[in-house]
Amino acid sequence: MAYPFQLGFQDATSPIMEELLHFHDHTLMIVFLISSLVLYIISLMLTTKLTHTSTMDAQEVETIWTILPAIILILIALPSLRILYMMDEINNPALTVKTMGHQWYWSYEYTDYEDLNFDSYMIPTQELKPGELRLLEVDNRVVLPMEMTVRMLISSEDVLHSWAVPSLGLKTDAIPGRLNQTTLMSTRPGLYYGQCSEICGSNHSFMPIVLELVPLAHFEKWSASML
C-alpha cells in the first residue's frame, strides 16, 4: 500500500501492474527527452541571434519535424495497445467472484461455491485495533488464492461505483444493470488495499476494499470454514 508523501506508484503485485509500471517509465523517458529538447531550443532562441536564414526554409527540417513526432507516437501506441489487450484477456480462471457495489459498502459472492457470500463494511475509527489502518480496514476481507487467475464480475445495485486496487493494476467501473469483468493474479501473498474510485455519494470515501491473497491450502481451509 501507499506510504506518507509517496510520489510514485505502489509496488506491483501482479504481472499486469508490472507491465503498466514499465510502460509508465518508457513514456516518461520520452516526455523527458522532448521537454529537454524544447527547453534547449528555447534557450538558444533567447541567447543567440538567428541569422542563418536558409535553416528556416529548409525542406529537410520540415520533413524531420513531421516524421519524428509520428515515430514517437508509434513508440508510445504499440506498447500501450499490447497492455490493453493483455488486460482484456481471460485465461481459464480458476475462481470467479461477483462484486456488487452499494451505497456504501461492497458485497461479494464466490460463484463456484453454493453459499459463500458476505458484505464488506468499513470498520469505524473508534472500533479499530492497534496497527489497523483508518478508513481502509473492513469487517470481512476478500480472501483469494495467490498465483491463480481469478475473474472478478463487477456491477452495482444503485449508483456508479468503481472497484479499484492500485497495487494489482485494477480499476473497473461498477455500473447498475451492466456486468463488467476483470482478472487478477497475485505473485505473492499479502494484504492489498483499494477504495471506490467513482464519486458515489456522501459516504464515497468510506468504501474500502481489502484483498487477502493466501496460498491455495490456506484458501481452501478458509472457504471450508465459511460454508
Q: How far apart are CA 49 and CA 35, in angstroms?
A: 22
Question: Domain 93-224: what homologous superfamily?
Answer: Cupredoxins -  blue copper proteins (2.60.40.420)
Average pLDDT score over residue span 87-116: 91
Name the nearest CA neighbour of 108 among 148, 138, 149. 138
Residue 65's pLDDT is what? Answer: 83
pLDDT for 6-38, tens place per residue? 888 988 999 999 999 999 999 999 999 999 999
Mean pLDDT of the chain: 90
pLDDT digits (tens, 9 = 90+) for 175-190: 999 999 999 999 999 9
Nearest to 146 by CA among 110, 192, 89, 187: 187
The pLDDT assigned to 163 comes to 95
Confidence (pLDDT) at 101 = 94
Task: Specify the pLDDT at position 227.
Answer: 78
Write out the three cell numbers for 78: 504499440
Task: Band the pLDDT of 45: cuts 50, 70, 90.
Answer: confident
CB 204 within 8 A of CB 169: no
% of the chain at pLDDT higher than 70: 96
- pLDDT value at residue 175: 95
- For the domain with range 13-86, which CATH number is right: 1.10.630.10, 1.10.357.10, 3.30.420.40, 1.10.287.90? 1.10.287.90
55 pLDDT above the threshold of 70: no
> What is the average per-residue pLDDT within 150-158?
94
**pLDDT reported for residue 8:** 86
Q: What is the pLDDT of residues 182-219, one digit of tens each?
A: 999 999 999 999 999 999 888 899 999 999 999 999 99
pLDDT of residue 218: 95
Predicted TM-score of the model (pTM): 0.84
Task: Annotate 129-149 with DSSP letters as a single string.
Answer: PTTPPTTT-BSS-EEEETTS-
Nearest to 107 by CA among 74, 70, 149, 139: 139
181, β-bridge pairs: 153
pLDDT tens-digit map of 72-86 = 999 999 999 999 998
Domain spans, the chain? 13-86, 93-224
